[in-house]
Structure 1
Amino acid sequence: MKKLWAVPLLLAASHATAGGWEASTLDTSFMYQQGNYAEVGTASITYGVKATTQANTAKTKMAKNQTRTAFAFKTDVGGITLGLARYMSGAIQLSGSDASLATCATISATCSVVPDADVTVNSLALLAKYKLNDEFSLIAGANQYSIASGATVTALTGHYEVSGDATVPTFGAAYEVSDIALRVELLSQSKTKVSNFKAQSKGGAVTSLTDVTGETMSIPQSIKLNFQSGIAANTLLFGSIHQASWKSAQIEIPQLGAGTLLGGVDGISSDFANRTTYSIGVGRKFTEQMSGLISYATEAGGGKTTADPFTLRNGYQSISLGARYTTGNMTISGGYNYTMPGDVDLAHVSGLTASYKNNTVSAVGLKVGFSF
C-alpha cells in the first residue's frame, strides 16, 4: 500500500485552481521508491471557467485549457537518495479579450477588464534525502523557478512581457513506520525574490516594447504536510495541507513614464491572497497489481467579490478518482479530477465588471513509472 501515495499526488498536480499563479506543487513521492526509479506524467486540463461582463451578457470562456507534463528520477548513492524533478509550477493562462465587443486600446464599456495572458513557470528541483534511522529522514535541495520564454500579458492598460528565474531553498523531514504504511512528511520553501525579474511594456503612444524600472516578483513562502497511514488490511488513508503566503509575494510592474494619459504606459499588479489547501482520501489495494483511490480537496476563497482582474474564482472544491496498475518493473497510474470553483463577482475601479458563476474544471492525468 505504500506505493499508493504516487497516485493522489499525480491528481494533485492536475488541480487547476491553486492560489496565486501556482499550477503544481513539488511532488516528492518518487524519492521514497525502492532502488533506481524514473517516471513521466502528463495532465490535460479543460477549463469551463466562463463569465458575463458589462460588455457581453453571453457567457465567455476566460481561461485557456492547459497540458502539464512532469518527470522525475531518483537513485541511491551510499546512504543518500538523490532526486531530480521537473514540472510546471505556475501558469497564468487567460483569454479575457474574447468577451470584448470591439478592439480595445483604452478602457471602454464595450471592453473586457479581464486580460489576455500566456505566462508559464517551470521548475527544476534537485533533492537529497538522508535517513537518520529507520524512522526519520531529512530532505534538502534547491528548486529553480523559470518563467518560460514569450510570457505576455495584454490588458486595457497596456501590453507587458516578462522574464526571470529564481532558485529557492527547499527543506523537509519525514517520519515513517513501514509496518503500518505510515509516512508523515513536512516540506518548506522560503520566500525568494526573483532578482533578475525583467518587464517591458508598450501601449498608447509607446509603440515598441520599452524596459520598465522597479518591477518585482517573488516566490512565496510555502509549507506542505503530506501524510498517509494504513487503517485496515490493504486500505490507506492519505492527505495533505498546503499553505502559501501569496499576500507578500505579489507581481508589480510600475507604470512607464507618467502613465497612459501623459504618453506613457500604465502599470499592472497582482492582488494575491494567502491560500491554504486541504485534501484527504482513501486508497484500496484490490490485487497485487491493481489499486484505486478517491480523494477530496478544498480551498477557502478570498470572498464573493473582488477588484482583481486576475481572480476567476472564490476558492474551490474538488473530487479525484485514480487507479494504479503494476506489471513487472512498470507502474501505470491514471486519474480524473473534477473541480468546482466558487462563484465570484469582479468590480474593477474602472467600472468594468465580470461575473463568474457555476463554473467547472476537469483534468485527466496519466503517469508511467519504471524501477530498475
Structure 2
Amino acid sequence: MKRYLATPAALALVSGSAMASGLDRTGQPIGIIFEEGTYAEFSFATTSVDLSGNDRTVLNPLGSATGDVGDRFSMFGAGYKRDLSEQLSFALIFDQPWGVDVDYPAGGSVLLGGTTAQADSNAVTALLRYKFNERFSVHGGLRYQEIDGQINLAGAAYAAIPGGTYNVRVNKDGAFGWVAGAAYEIPEIALRAALTYSSEIEHDLNLNESFAGFPAANATTSTKTKTPQSVNLDFQTGVAKDTLLFGSIRWAEHSVTDLAPTVLGRDLIDLDDSFTYTLGVGRRFNEQWSGSLALIYADVDGDDLVSPLAPTHGYEAIRLGVQYKQDRMTISAGIRYTQLGDAVASPGGNPVTNFQDNDAVSFGLKVGYNF
C-alpha cells in the first residue's frame, strides 16, 4: 500500500476544549516529526463559542440569564522539519497550547456579571527523532512555554471579597519542560503508533492584585502554578486502498493547575483531569483531493461542579476535513462542531449558575510545503 496520510483537519480544530478539558487547546501535537524530507507548515484556527447559563438561587427562583460568556478565540501554529541524516531528524514546532476566554456580561447574571478570565500561552518545542530501523524510532526534546493572563471577579457570588470586585494581572513568565516518546511503524500498510509524554511545566508568576473600593489591599505578589503533564497515543493504519483509519487518546492532568494569589487567599482554578478520544477515517479521492471524518469525545473526572472561569464539563465533537495537494504544496481545511458538556458554575464549591445545551464551531486552515 502506498504510504499515505489522510488529512487530520487543520490544526486538529480543538474547539471547546479550552473550557471542556481544562485549559487545553491544541493537544500539543508532534506529528510533523514524521513528515518525509524537509517540510514546513503554517496554520490558523478560529472558534466561535456559544456558552450561556442561568443563575439558580432561592432568592431568585426564576434566575437571571448570563448572556453569552464565551468569547471567540483564534490560534496560530507553525512547524519546520528536516532530516539531519538517514537516522536522525529535527523538528521545531510553535503552538498555543493553553488558554481561556470567558466574559460574563455586566447586567446579565446577578451572581457572576462582570466576571472575566483571559489567559494566553505560546510554546516552542524542539524535537529530535532517531530511527533504529524502518519500524522503530524514538523522539524527544525540550519545550519552552510562556503564559500570561488576567482575571476579574465580580457579581453577588463574590460579595464577600473586600470592595466586592477583585482583579489580578498575571504577568508573562517563561519556563522549560521536556518531551519524550517512541513510535512503531509498518510503512507498507501506513501503520504507525506513536506514544508521547509531555512533562508538566512550573511557572513562577508575578501578580498585580487589586480590590475595587478597597485600595489598601492592593499588592504586587507572586505565586507558582503548573501546566499539566500529558500523554498522547496516536494511531493510524491503512484498511483498504487509499483509506486510512486513525485515532488518538490524550490524558492531561489538569488538576495540578492552580492559581492562588497571596492576598485573595483562594484558588481561582478548579479543574479535573481528562481523557480525550478521537476516532476517524481518511479517504483519498484522487491525486489531489482527500478528506477525513472524525468523532471526538472528552471524558472529564469528577462531578459537574466547575469553576465559573471554565463553565463546561467534557464534550462531544464531529470534525470534517478536506485536503488539496498540488506538486509540493498541501492545503488543508476543516470544520468542527462541538457539543459542550453541561456544568454548574460553583465558585468556592457553591453552585450558583447552570450551563446547559451549549456548543462551539471551529474553522481551520493549514498550508504545508515539502522542499
* TM over 0.5, shorter chain: yes
Structure-2 change in CA distance of 1:69 and 1:349 (3 Å): closer
Structure-2 change in CA distance of 1:99 and 1:92 (3 Å): farther
CA distance in 1, matches of 2:342, 2:107: 18
- SS of 2:287 mapped into structure 1: coil
CA distance in 1, matches of 2:306, 2:88: 49
Which residue number corresponds to residue 195 of structure 2? Answer: 186
Which residue number corresponds to residue 69 of structure 1? Answer: 76
**Alpha-carbon offset, residue 338 of structure 1:** 0.2
Whether contact under 8 Å (1:332, 1:369) holds in the other structure is: yes
CA distance in 2, matches of 1:34, 1:305: 44
Most deviating of 321-330 and 184-193 = 184-193
Q: Mind listing any 5+ residue stretches in structure 1 that lack a counterpart?
A: 102-109, 257-264
Residue number among 81, 95, 109 corresponding to 2:103 in the alignment: 95
**Alpha-carbon offset, residue 29 of structure 1:** 2.0
Alpha-carbon RMSD: 2.3
Whether contact under 8 Å (1:5, 1:29) holds in the other structure is: no
**Alpha-carbon offset, residue 344 of structure 1:** 1.5
CA distance in 1, matches of 2:41, 2:16: 19
Tell me if 1:366 matches 2:365. yes
**Alpha-carbon offset, residue 347 of structure 1:** 3.9
Whether contact under 8 Å (2:66, 2:104) holds in the other structure is: no
Which residue number corresponds to residue 274 of structure 2? Answer: 275
**Alpha-carbon offset, residue 100 of structure 1:** 4.2
One-letter amino acid matched to 2:144: Q
Which residue number corresponds to residue 53 of structure 1? Answer: 55
Which residue number corresponds to residue 232 of structure 1? Answer: 240
Q: Give runs of aligned pairs for residues 92-171 of structure 1, distance below 5 A.
A: 92-98=100-106, 100=108, 110-112=110-112, 115-148=115-148, 151-156=149-154, 157=161, 158-162=166-170, 163-171=172-180
**Alpha-carbon offset, residue 53 of structure 1:** 2.2
Tell me if 1:254 matches 2:253. no
CA distance in 2, matches of 1:224, 1:9: 18
**Alpha-carbon offset, residue 212 of structure 1:** 1.8
Which residue number corresponds to residue 216 of structure 1? Answer: 224
Q: Give runs of aligned pairs for residues 321-332 of structure 1, distance below 5 A.
A: 321-332=320-331
CA distance in 1, matches of 2:65, 2:20: 26
Structure-2 change in CA distance of 1:222 and 1:303 (3 Å): closer
- SS of 2:5 mapped into structure 1: helix
Structure-2 change in CA distance of 1:29 and 1:99 (3 Å): farther
Whether contact under 8 Å (2:271, 2:306) holds in the other structure is: no
Whether contact under 8 Å (1:278, 1:297) holds in the other structure is: yes
One-letter amino acid matched to 1:210: A
- SS of 1:230 mapped into structure 2: strand
The one-character-per-residue Cα deviations of 1:71-100 (angstroms, maximum 9, x if unpaired) are 101111123111111111111111024454
CA distance in 2, matches of 1:223, 1:352: 32
One-letter amino acid matched to 1:289: Q
Tell me if 1:345 matches 2:344. yes
One-letter amino acid matched to 1:152: Q
- SS of 2:271 mapped into structure 1: coil
Which residue number corresponds to residue 209 of structure 2? Answer: 201
Tell me if 1:292 matches 2:291. yes
Whether contact under 8 Å (2:143, 2:176) holds in the other structure is: yes
Whether contact under 8 Å (2:33, 2:81) holds in the other structure is: yes
Structure-2 change in CA distance of 1:302 and 1:134 (3 Å): closer
**Alpha-carbon offset, residue 218 of structure 1:** 0.6
CA distance in 2, matches of 1:227, 1:28: 13
**Alpha-carbon offset, residue 246 of structure 1:** 1.6
Structure with larger RCO (C-alpha < 8 A, sep 6+): 2
Most deviating of 171-180 and 185-194 = 185-194
One-letter amino acid matched to 1:308: S
Q: Across the two proteins, how many residue pairs are aligned to each other?
A: 351
CA distance in 1, matches of 2:9, 2:321: 7
Which residue number corresponds to residue 262 of structure 1? Answer: none
Q: Mind listing any 5+ residue stretches in structure 2 that lack a counterpart?
A: 155-160
Q: In percent, how many aligned pairs have the same letter? A: 26
Whether contact under 8 Å (2:306, 2:343) holds in the other structure is: no
Structure-2 change in CA distance of 1:290 and 1:350 (3 Å): closer
Structure-2 change in CA distance of 1:14 and 1:39 (3 Å): farther
